[in-house]
Structures are given as C-alpha cells and as structure tokens.
C-alpha cells in the first residue's frame, strides 16, 4: 500500500476516535454537552415553574415561545459572530447567560413573572449568537475532514443529554424550585466558559464586515441563497422541520389512539432520542460515503415513512416509528450544518450559520402552532398520512437536485484562509 493510500485509510478509519483525540474538537464537544445539559433542564422547568405560579397552561407555553422567538432575528444577530473573535465571544455569551440565570432567583410571586420571560428572551438571543460563534469557531478549530463526524457526535451528545437533563431538572425543581434549576444552568454555562478558555485558536481579530448594518445582515442570506450546493439543503431542512412541527403537535393524539395516558408520550420521546443518538455516531462516515444531499434525502425518506405509519394504532409500530423519526430527522440538520461550515468563507460564517438556523428551525415553530389547531379539526390520521407524502416529495426533490453543482468538499481549508 502506498503512503497516499495509507493516509486515505487513516482519514476514513476510526473517525469518532479521531474527533475525541483532537484536543480542540474534544473541548468544543465538552462545551456543547455541559451547556446543553443546563439548557435542557431549564426548558422543562421554566414551563412547570410558570404553571405553578399562575395555573395557566397558556402562560406556561409562552416560555418556549420566548426562547424560540429570537431565532427569527438570526441573520441580524449572526453579524456579531463576524465582527469579533469567536472564542472571546463564546466565553462572554456563556458568562452573560450565567449572570442572567442568577437573576431568576428573584422570581417567586406572579407579579414579577415578567422577569422570567425577559430573561428567557435574552437567553434565546444570546443562544443564537452563541450557536453562530460556536459553529464558526468549530469550522476553524476542527479539521475540516472531521466536521461531519463532529456534528454527528454533537447531535448524539445533545440527544443523550436530553434523555437525562429533563429528569435531573424535574428532580431539582421538586426539591428546590425554579431557582435551583436556574442555578444549575448558570453553573453549566460557567463551566462551559472555562472549557472554551482552553481552546487553542488563532487570536487575530477578523476584518470588520464592510457596508451598512443592513448590507452586512443581507450579505449572509444572499450568499446562502445563491449557493447552488447549500440552497437545496436549507430549503429541504425548512420543509422538513415544518412537517416535523406539525407531526410533533399530533403526538398526544397518537398516544390517545393507542389507549395510553398522556405520560406515555415521554416514552415515545425517549425512544426517538435513542434513534438520534445512533444516527449521530454514523453521520460522519455516511456523509463521506454518500454526500450531504443524499444523506439528508435518505433521512427525510425514513422520516416520511415513520410519520405516515404513526397513523396505525399499534404499540410496537409506534416504538419503531419513534426510533425511525429520531434517526431520520437529524440527517438533514447534520448535513446542512456541515455543508455550511465547509462552503462558507470565514468572515461570513457567523451570519450564514445564523441565517441557515433561522430558515431551518423557524418553520418548526409554525408547524407546532398549525398542528395544534389542525388536530382539533380533522384528527391526526389524515394529517399524518399527508405529512408522510409531503416529506417523501421533499426527499425526492432533494435527492434529484441539480447534479451539475458539486457539494462542499470534505477536506481542505476555508476558501479565504482567514483565521478566527
């Protein structure tokens, strides 16, 4: 075997071990896991906290809206990640979120409930900036040949955390109330800031983007939508998340059809999380073998079959469909993020990442709202069948996207070579 063949074999072999052995990749992954644990615990506890304070289901639901709403301002918030060094920005955003969470210890009587919503909204905005800076930093701190493996492991870690953190948050809330969960989340962000401080990345300040604020904001969206390799992925990702939101809103109707109590939905979500953990480990090799578009298309096709079959009232089938949804849904998310990191010039990474997140994840919120109204009108079986067909069409469209446009390369250096 030649030296070049040996190198290729090494690049293809043991990708997970290579990510873990890469110092900066391991630190980035640790930061994601630590901060994600606290965030997942807070997502559950905040709604329960508001419910206990007010007795209102509607006010409790507003907690999730407060955290998700800043995603709509992603293109604007993402410019912050392109105007300053990403490592100090990650540390600063983590410290800001820790400080904000400490103010929640003042929340107790209902008349100060506005503070909780305000903190959650700022928390969501800081999270958008944090995610954009993190993605841009990862694109330069992690070997480009490992980006698919890293993003797959990131998905695995996030889903693994979601299996444990809500239980920890619920237990902590039962023992110490909302302030106890807020303190836990603040501690995780402090620890994440320490982890990010140990990253070894170039310290040079990026060149500030030229032009007006509006021009800088639009530039990221223009690059994303004009790129022939990224546009089909982002479009498919948004359509998939819209359908996923609609399907997610129907899960309690599915549980009722199975003859179980509402708590059974937690079992289905746990099985779905297990599917996501599995696909995260396999994502890197799959991206190298079939490419981003086909990997995403195969995942969406699997999701389509699982969503449609959920209309059949069968416990074993419900478990299988939940696992398939967990495995299929992350494929387009991993493929899109990896493609954005590989194809975007360094100075644009923050804006393009934030814009892509907005276009992909904002439809999920709309789908949840529409699904909640739809299930009251026509039930769940017909919508699930229709969503399966829509997802299958999305998969086919992405699979047969214009082959004349090559996908982003799996290795090499950023197109501008600029440090972060």
Q: What is the pLDDT of residue 11?
A: 46
Place of tokens 């630190």: 27
Q: What is the pLDDT of residue 111?
A: 64
CA–CA distance, 80 with 88 (Å, rounded to integer): 12
Q: What is the pLDDT of residue 414?
A: 39
Query: What 8-state DSSP symbol labels residue 278?
Result: H
CA–CA distance, 313 with 411 (Å, rounded to integer): 46
pTM of full prediction above 0.85: no
CA–CA distance, 50 with 59 (Å, rounded to integer): 7
CA–CA distance, 5 with 111 (Å, rounded to integer): 68
CA–CA distance, 161 with 32 (Å, rounded to integer): 10
Q: What is the pLDDT of residue 14?
A: 64
Residues 157-203 pLDDT 10s: 777 777 777 777 778 888 888 888 889 999 999 999 999 888 877 65
Q: What is the pLDDT of residue 308?
A: 95
User: Is residue 291 left, alpha or beta, with left meaning phi > 0 and alpha meaning psi from -120 to 50?
Assistant: left
CA–CA distance, 330 with 319 (Å, rounded to integer): 18
Fold of 16-198: Growth Hormone; Chain: A; (1.20.1250)
- Provide the residue ranges of all domains of the chain, joining segments of one domain with +: 16-198, 215-410
Binned average pLDDT, 10 residues per bin, the chain of 420 residues: 44 62 82 84 78 71 76 79 81 90 76 82 87 80 78 81 75 84 91 89 58 67 85 93 87 84 74 85 85 93 95 92 92 90 81 85 81 77 93 92 55 37
CA–CA distance, 91 with 98 (Å, rounded to integer): 11
Distance of CA 408 to the CA centre of its chain: 21
CATH class for the domain made up of 215-410: mainly alpha
Residues 243-290 pLDDT 10s: 998 888 788 788 888 888 766 776 787 788 888 888 888 888 888 888
* DSSP string of 286-304, one letter each residue: HHHHH-HHHHHHHHHHHHH
CA–CA distance, 347 with 39 (Å, rounded to integer): 28
């Amino acid at each position: 075997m030649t030296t070049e063949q040996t190198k290729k074999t090494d690049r293809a072999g043991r990708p997970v071990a290579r990510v873990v052995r890469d110092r900066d990749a391991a630190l980035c992954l640790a930061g994601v896991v630590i901060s994600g644990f606290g965030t997942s615990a807070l997502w559950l506890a905040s709604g329960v906290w508001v419910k206990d304070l007010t007795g209102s289901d509607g006010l409790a639901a507003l907690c999730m809206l407060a955290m998700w709403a800043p995603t709509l301002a992603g293109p604007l918030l993402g410019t912050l990640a392109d105007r300053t060094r990403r490592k100090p920005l990650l540390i600063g955003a983590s410290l800001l979120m820790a400080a904000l969470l400490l103010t929640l210890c003042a929340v107790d009587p209902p008349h100060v409930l506005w503070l909780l919503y305000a903190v959650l909204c700022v928390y969501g905005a800081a999270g958008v900036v944090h995610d954009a800076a993190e993605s841009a930093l990862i694109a330069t701190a992690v070997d480009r040949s490992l980006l698919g493996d890293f993003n797959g492991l990131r998905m695995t870690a996030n889903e693994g955390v979601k299996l444990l953190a809500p239980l920890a948050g619920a237990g902590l809330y039962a023992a110490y109330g909302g302030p106890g969960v807020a303190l836990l989340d603040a501690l995780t962000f402090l620890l994440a800031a320490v982890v990010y401080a140990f990253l070894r990345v170039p310290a040079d300040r990026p060149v500030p983007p030229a032009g007006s604020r509006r021009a800088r904001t639009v530039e990221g969206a223009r690059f994303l939508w004009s790129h022939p390799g990224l546009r089909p992925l982002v479009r498919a990702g948004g359509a998939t998340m819209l359908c996923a939101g609609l399907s997610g809103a129907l899960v309690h109707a599915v549980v009722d059809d199975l003859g179980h109590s509402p708590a059974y939905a937690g079992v289905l979500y746990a099985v779905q999380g297990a599917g996501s953990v599995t696909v995260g480990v396999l994502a890197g090799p799959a991206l190298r073998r079939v490419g981003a578009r086909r990997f995403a298309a195969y995942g969406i096709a699997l999701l389509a079959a699982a969503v449609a079959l959920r209309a059949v009232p069968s416990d074993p089938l419900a478990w299988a469909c939940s696992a398939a949804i967990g495995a299929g849904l992350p494929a387009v998310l991993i493929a899109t993020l990896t493609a954005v990191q590989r194809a975007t010039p360094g100075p644009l990474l923050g804006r393009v990442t934030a814009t892509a997140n907005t276009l992909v994840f904002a439809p999920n919120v709309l789908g949840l709202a529409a699904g909640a109204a739809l299930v009251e009108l026509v039930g769940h079986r017909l919508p699930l069948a229709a969503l399966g067909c829509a997802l299958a069409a999305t998969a086919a469209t992405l699979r047969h996207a214009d082959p004349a446009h090559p996908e982003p390369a799996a290795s090499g250096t950023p197109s501008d070579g600029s440090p972060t």
